[in-house]
Amino acid sequence: MSAPAGVRSSPPIHWIVVRRRALQYLALAFYAFLALFPLYWMVMATLKDDYDLIDPAVSPFWFNRPLGLNHFSYLFAKTNFLVWYSNTFVIAGGVLLITLAVCVPGAYALARLRFAGAQNIGIGVFMTYLVPPILLFLPLAQIVTGVFNLGNTKWALVLVYPTFTIPFCLWILLGFFRRIPIEIEEAALVDGATRWQAVSRIVLPLSIPGILTAAIFAFTLSMQDFLYALTFVSSSSQKPLNLGIPTELIRGDVFFWGELMAACLLAGLPVAILYNFFLDYFVEGITGAIK
Protein backbone atom coordinates (compact mmCIF):
# COMPACT_ATOMS: atom_id res chain seq x y z
CA MET A 1 0.00 0.00 0.00
CA SER A 2 3.03 2.29 0.03
CA ALA A 3 1.71 3.63 -3.23
CA PRO A 4 3.65 6.85 -3.74
CA ALA A 5 6.85 4.86 -3.50
CA GLY A 6 5.60 1.75 -5.24
CA VAL A 7 4.89 3.45 -8.52
CA ARG A 8 8.41 4.71 -8.79
CA SER A 9 10.60 1.91 -7.53
CA SER A 10 9.10 -1.24 -9.07
CA PRO A 11 8.65 -1.57 -12.84
CA PRO A 12 4.92 -1.23 -13.62
CA ILE A 13 3.56 -4.49 -14.97
CA HIS A 14 0.41 -3.73 -16.86
CA TRP A 15 -2.07 -6.09 -15.23
CA ILE A 16 -0.93 -5.23 -11.73
CA VAL A 17 -1.67 -1.60 -12.43
CA VAL A 18 -5.06 -2.44 -13.87
CA ARG A 19 -5.96 -4.66 -10.95
CA ARG A 20 -4.87 -2.05 -8.47
CA ARG A 21 -6.91 0.64 -10.23
CA ALA A 22 -9.96 -1.62 -10.27
CA LEU A 23 -9.62 -2.30 -6.55
CA GLN A 24 -9.25 1.38 -5.84
CA TYR A 25 -12.38 2.26 -7.73
CA LEU A 26 -14.22 -0.59 -6.05
CA ALA A 27 -13.23 0.76 -2.66
CA LEU A 28 -14.22 4.27 -3.73
CA ALA A 29 -17.58 2.95 -4.89
CA PHE A 30 -18.09 1.47 -1.43
CA TYR A 31 -17.32 4.80 0.20
CA ALA A 32 -19.49 6.65 -2.27
CA PHE A 33 -22.41 4.38 -1.49
CA LEU A 34 -21.88 4.86 2.22
CA ALA A 35 -21.59 8.62 2.00
CA LEU A 36 -24.19 9.38 -0.63
CA PHE A 37 -27.01 6.91 -0.22
CA PRO A 38 -28.90 8.97 2.39
CA LEU A 39 -28.64 11.97 0.10
CA TYR A 40 -29.87 10.04 -2.92
CA TRP A 41 -32.75 9.07 -0.72
CA MET A 42 -33.53 12.67 0.09
CA VAL A 43 -33.47 13.68 -3.57
CA MET A 44 -35.83 10.85 -4.46
CA ALA A 45 -38.23 11.81 -1.66
CA THR A 46 -38.25 15.40 -2.84
CA LEU A 47 -39.16 14.66 -6.41
CA LYS A 48 -41.46 11.69 -5.94
CA ASP A 49 -45.21 11.82 -5.92
CA ASP A 50 -46.69 11.53 -2.40
CA TYR A 51 -48.43 8.22 -3.12
CA ASP A 52 -45.30 6.86 -4.66
CA LEU A 53 -43.44 7.67 -1.44
CA ILE A 54 -45.62 5.48 0.73
CA ASP A 55 -46.69 2.71 -1.61
CA PRO A 56 -45.31 -0.52 -0.11
CA ALA A 57 -45.99 -2.50 -3.28
CA VAL A 58 -43.39 -0.78 -5.45
CA SER A 59 -39.64 -0.65 -5.23
CA PRO A 60 -38.64 2.46 -3.29
CA PHE A 61 -35.32 2.83 -5.10
CA TRP A 62 -36.74 4.43 -8.19
CA PHE A 63 -39.85 6.39 -9.07
CA ASN A 64 -43.02 4.73 -10.31
CA ARG A 65 -45.22 7.76 -10.79
CA PRO A 66 -44.17 10.95 -12.59
CA LEU A 67 -41.70 13.17 -10.75
CA GLY A 68 -42.69 16.72 -9.89
CA LEU A 69 -41.81 19.88 -8.08
CA ASN A 70 -44.99 20.08 -5.99
CA HIS A 71 -43.06 19.77 -2.78
CA PHE A 72 -41.07 22.86 -3.55
CA SER A 73 -44.11 24.98 -4.29
CA TYR A 74 -45.79 23.82 -1.07
CA LEU A 75 -42.67 24.75 0.83
CA PHE A 76 -42.55 28.28 -0.54
CA ALA A 77 -46.27 29.00 -0.38
CA LYS A 78 -47.44 27.36 2.82
CA THR A 79 -44.53 27.38 5.25
CA ASN A 80 -42.19 29.96 6.74
CA PHE A 81 -39.34 28.57 4.70
CA LEU A 82 -38.43 31.86 3.02
CA VAL A 83 -38.49 33.70 6.35
CA TRP A 84 -36.05 31.18 7.78
CA TYR A 85 -33.90 31.46 4.71
CA SER A 86 -33.64 35.22 5.07
CA ASN A 87 -33.09 34.91 8.84
CA THR A 88 -30.22 32.57 8.13
CA PHE A 89 -28.59 35.13 5.88
CA VAL A 90 -29.18 37.98 8.32
CA ILE A 91 -27.65 35.93 11.13
CA ALA A 92 -24.72 34.76 9.03
CA GLY A 93 -24.15 38.33 7.82
CA GLY A 94 -24.12 39.69 11.37
CA VAL A 95 -21.83 36.93 12.57
CA LEU A 96 -19.56 37.58 9.62
CA LEU A 97 -19.28 41.31 10.35
CA ILE A 98 -18.53 40.77 14.03
CA THR A 99 -16.07 38.00 13.30
CA LEU A 100 -14.10 39.98 10.73
CA ALA A 101 -14.17 43.19 12.77
CA VAL A 102 -12.68 41.32 15.71
CA CYS A 103 -10.39 38.89 13.90
CA VAL A 104 -8.69 40.93 11.20
CA PRO A 105 -7.04 43.40 13.61
CA GLY A 106 -6.47 40.67 16.19
CA ALA A 107 -4.82 38.28 13.77
CA TYR A 108 -2.69 41.06 12.32
CA ALA A 109 -1.49 41.96 15.81
CA LEU A 110 -0.65 38.35 16.64
CA ALA A 111 1.12 37.79 13.34
CA ARG A 112 3.12 40.99 13.07
CA LEU A 113 3.37 43.05 16.23
CA ARG A 114 5.86 42.35 18.98
CA PHE A 115 4.28 42.27 22.40
CA ALA A 116 4.58 40.02 25.40
CA GLY A 117 2.26 37.03 25.47
CA ALA A 118 1.17 37.26 21.82
CA GLN A 119 1.79 33.59 21.22
CA ASN A 120 0.01 32.46 24.36
CA ILE A 121 -2.94 34.72 23.63
CA GLY A 122 -3.25 33.13 20.19
CA ILE A 123 -3.22 29.62 21.63
CA GLY A 124 -5.58 30.61 24.43
CA VAL A 125 -8.15 32.04 22.01
CA PHE A 126 -7.92 29.02 19.75
CA MET A 127 -8.42 26.63 22.65
CA THR A 128 -11.81 28.14 23.38
CA TYR A 129 -12.84 26.48 20.12
CA LEU A 130 -12.43 23.23 22.02
CA VAL A 131 -15.08 24.19 24.58
CA PRO A 132 -18.25 22.48 23.34
CA PRO A 133 -21.46 24.57 23.36
CA ILE A 134 -23.10 22.05 25.65
CA LEU A 135 -20.97 23.39 28.54
CA LEU A 136 -22.10 26.95 27.90
CA PHE A 137 -25.68 26.89 26.66
CA LEU A 138 -27.43 27.03 30.05
CA PRO A 139 -25.64 30.11 31.39
CA LEU A 140 -25.66 31.70 27.92
CA ALA A 141 -29.44 31.33 27.78
CA GLN A 142 -29.59 33.35 31.00
CA ILE A 143 -27.07 35.89 29.73
CA VAL A 144 -28.70 36.61 26.35
CA THR A 145 -32.05 37.22 28.02
CA GLY A 146 -30.94 38.78 31.31
CA VAL A 147 -27.91 40.84 30.32
CA PHE A 148 -28.39 41.57 26.62
CA ASN A 149 -32.18 41.42 26.50
CA LEU A 150 -32.16 39.44 23.26
CA GLY A 151 -34.29 36.49 24.38
CA ASN A 152 -36.18 34.79 21.57
CA THR A 153 -34.66 36.88 18.78
CA LYS A 154 -32.31 36.01 15.99
CA TRP A 155 -29.93 38.66 17.34
CA ALA A 156 -29.18 36.34 20.24
CA LEU A 157 -27.59 34.01 17.69
CA VAL A 158 -25.72 36.89 16.05
CA LEU A 159 -24.27 37.63 19.46
CA VAL A 160 -23.40 34.06 20.41
CA TYR A 161 -22.17 32.43 17.18
CA PRO A 162 -18.97 34.52 17.14
CA THR A 163 -17.91 32.58 20.26
CA PHE A 164 -16.99 29.74 17.93
CA THR A 165 -16.29 31.65 14.70
CA ILE A 166 -13.82 34.07 16.34
CA PRO A 167 -11.40 31.42 17.64
CA PHE A 168 -11.48 29.56 14.36
CA CYS A 169 -11.23 32.53 12.00
CA LEU A 170 -8.56 34.22 14.10
CA TRP A 171 -6.42 31.16 13.62
CA ILE A 172 -7.10 30.98 9.87
CA LEU A 173 -6.31 34.66 9.35
CA LEU A 174 -3.18 34.37 11.47
CA GLY A 175 -1.91 31.75 9.05
CA PHE A 176 -2.65 33.99 6.07
CA PHE A 177 -0.99 37.07 7.57
CA ARG A 178 2.12 35.07 8.45
CA ARG A 179 2.46 33.95 4.86
CA ILE A 180 2.68 37.51 3.52
CA PRO A 181 6.41 38.27 3.44
CA ILE A 182 7.22 40.82 6.12
CA GLU A 183 9.77 42.42 3.79
CA ILE A 184 7.01 43.89 1.61
CA GLU A 185 5.55 45.66 4.61
CA GLU A 186 8.95 46.78 5.88
CA ALA A 187 9.81 48.18 2.47
CA ALA A 188 6.67 50.30 2.55
CA LEU A 189 7.54 51.54 6.05
CA VAL A 190 11.06 52.42 4.93
CA ASP A 191 9.60 54.33 1.97
CA GLY A 192 7.79 56.57 4.44
CA ALA A 193 4.36 54.94 4.62
CA THR A 194 2.67 54.93 8.01
CA ARG A 195 1.75 51.57 9.49
CA TRP A 196 -1.89 52.16 8.64
CA GLN A 197 -1.01 52.89 5.01
CA ALA A 198 1.18 49.80 4.83
CA VAL A 199 -1.63 47.67 6.23
CA SER A 200 -4.50 49.10 4.23
CA ARG A 201 -2.67 49.34 0.88
CA ILE A 202 -0.47 46.25 1.02
CA VAL A 203 -1.33 43.72 3.70
CA LEU A 204 -5.13 43.77 3.45
CA PRO A 205 -5.34 43.48 -0.35
CA LEU A 206 -2.89 40.58 -0.21
CA SER A 207 -4.93 38.80 2.43
CA ILE A 208 -8.27 38.97 0.63
CA PRO A 209 -8.27 35.17 0.10
CA GLY A 210 -7.81 34.73 3.84
CA ILE A 211 -10.58 37.16 4.67
CA LEU A 212 -12.84 35.42 2.18
CA THR A 213 -12.04 32.06 3.77
CA ALA A 214 -12.82 33.39 7.22
CA ALA A 215 -16.08 34.81 5.88
CA ILE A 216 -17.13 31.47 4.40
CA PHE A 217 -16.46 29.72 7.68
CA ALA A 218 -18.35 32.31 9.68
CA PHE A 219 -21.27 31.40 7.42
CA THR A 220 -20.96 27.62 7.27
CA LEU A 221 -20.16 27.19 10.96
CA SER A 222 -23.26 29.23 11.81
CA MET A 223 -25.30 26.78 9.77
CA GLN A 224 -23.88 23.81 11.67
CA ASP A 225 -25.33 24.92 14.99
CA PHE A 226 -28.51 23.51 16.43
CA LEU A 227 -28.19 23.69 20.21
CA TYR A 228 -27.98 27.47 20.58
CA ALA A 229 -30.80 28.09 18.11
CA LEU A 230 -33.00 25.53 19.87
CA THR A 231 -32.27 27.04 23.26
CA PHE A 232 -32.55 30.75 22.47
CA VAL A 233 -35.21 31.04 19.77
CA SER A 234 -38.77 29.81 19.84
CA SER A 235 -40.89 32.04 17.61
CA SER A 236 -41.12 30.89 14.04
CA SER A 237 -40.43 34.31 12.53
CA GLN A 238 -37.02 34.47 14.20
CA LYS A 239 -35.77 30.99 13.37
CA PRO A 240 -32.89 30.19 11.07
CA LEU A 241 -33.20 27.31 8.61
CA ASN A 242 -31.29 24.85 10.74
CA LEU A 243 -33.89 25.28 13.46
CA GLY A 244 -37.04 25.94 11.43
CA ILE A 245 -36.72 22.84 9.29
CA PRO A 246 -36.39 20.27 12.09
CA THR A 247 -38.88 21.91 14.42
CA GLU A 248 -41.68 23.08 12.15
CA LEU A 249 -41.88 20.82 9.16
CA ILE A 250 -42.76 18.04 11.56
CA ARG A 251 -46.22 18.25 12.97
CA GLY A 252 -46.91 15.78 15.69
CA ASP A 253 -45.67 12.52 14.38
CA VAL A 254 -46.69 13.22 10.79
CA PHE A 255 -43.73 14.08 8.65
CA PHE A 256 -44.18 15.96 5.43
CA TRP A 257 -41.44 13.89 3.92
CA GLY A 258 -41.39 15.42 0.47
CA GLU A 259 -41.46 19.02 1.73
CA LEU A 260 -38.97 18.23 4.42
CA MET A 261 -36.48 16.77 2.00
CA ALA A 262 -36.99 19.61 -0.48
CA ALA A 263 -36.26 22.09 2.29
CA CYS A 264 -33.23 20.13 3.40
CA LEU A 265 -31.70 20.08 -0.03
CA LEU A 266 -32.36 23.76 -0.72
CA ALA A 267 -30.79 24.72 2.58
CA GLY A 268 -28.02 22.20 2.83
CA LEU A 269 -26.47 21.88 -0.59
CA PRO A 270 -25.27 25.49 -0.99
CA VAL A 271 -23.60 25.27 2.40
CA ALA A 272 -22.03 21.93 1.60
CA ILE A 273 -20.68 23.18 -1.72
CA LEU A 274 -19.21 26.35 -0.21
CA TYR A 275 -17.71 24.40 2.65
CA ASN A 276 -16.16 21.96 0.26
CA PHE A 277 -14.34 24.63 -1.72
CA PHE A 278 -12.67 25.78 1.47
CA LEU A 279 -12.18 22.38 3.07
CA ASP A 280 -8.40 22.50 2.75
CA TYR A 281 -8.30 25.68 4.79
CA PHE A 282 -10.51 24.09 7.40
CA VAL A 283 -8.13 21.18 7.78
CA GLU A 284 -5.22 23.57 7.84
CA GLY A 285 -6.91 25.67 10.48
CA ILE A 286 -7.20 22.65 12.72
CA THR A 287 -3.88 20.95 12.04
CA GLY A 288 -1.87 24.11 11.37
CA ALA A 289 -1.36 24.71 15.07
CA ILE A 290 1.27 22.01 15.30
CA LYS A 291 3.07 22.32 11.99
Site for other proteins in 77-106 (CB under 8 A): 98, 101-103, 105-106
Name every residue whose Cβ is closer than 8 Å to that of residue 258 and which is 6 or more positions away in sequence: 45, 46, 48, 50, 53, 70, 71, 74
Residue among 106, 217, 227, 221 nearest 156 (CA): 227
Among 49, 226, 236, 248, binds other proteins (CB under 8 A): 226
CB closer to other proteins out of 77 and 135: 135
Q: Which of residues 233-252 bind other proteins (CB under 8 A)?
A: 241-243, 245-246
| Cα dihedral value 98, 101, 107, 108, nearest 10 | 180
Q: Which of residues 13-42 bind other proteins (CB under 8 A)?
A: 24, 27-28, 31-32, 34-36, 38-39, 41-42
The interface region with other proteins, picked from 68-76, 180-188, 206-214, 253-261 by CB under 8 A, is 253-261
User: What's the CA gap between 221 and 228, in Å, rounded?
Assistant: 12
The interface region with other proteins, picked from 73-81, 112-120, 149-157, 185-193 by CB under 8 A, is 112-120
The interface region with other proteins, picked from 11-19, 137-145, 175-183, 184-192 by CB under 8 A, is 137-145
Least CB distance from residue 208 to other proteins, whole Å?
Answer: 19
Residues 119 and 134 sit within 8 Å (Cβ to Cβ): no
Residues 95 and 159 sit within 8 Å (Cβ to Cβ): no
Least CB distance from residue 57 to other proteins, whole Å?
Answer: 11
Residue among 12, 53, 26, 2 nearest 257 (CA): 53
Among 92, 100, 125, 158, binds other proteins (CB under 8 A): 125
CB closer to other proteins out of 3 and 13: 3
User: What's the CA gap between 276 and 253, in Å, rounded?
Assistant: 34
- The yes or no reply on residue 218 touching other proteins (CB under 8 A) is no
Among 13, 62, 77, 117, binds other proteins (CB under 8 A): 117
Residues 88 and 263 sit within 8 Å (Cβ to Cβ): no
Q: Which of residues 147-166 bind other proteins (CB under 8 A)?
A: 159-160, 162-163, 166
Name every residue whose Cβ is closer than 8 Å to that of residue 254 and which is 6 or more positions away in sequence: none
Least CB distance from residue 191 to other proteins, whole Å?
Answer: 20
Round to the nearest angstrom and report the end-to-end CA distance of the chain.
Answer: 26
Among 157, 172, 223, 233, binds other proteins (CB under 8 A): 223
Residues paired with residue 250 on neighbouring β-strands, in sequence order: 255
The interface region with other proteins, picked from 70-78, 79-87, 116-124, 177-185 by CB under 8 A, is 116-124
Alpha-carbon distance values, 240 to 52, 193, 216, 245 (Å): 31, 45, 17, 8
Q: Which of residues 186-215 bind other proteins (CB under 8 A)?
A: 195
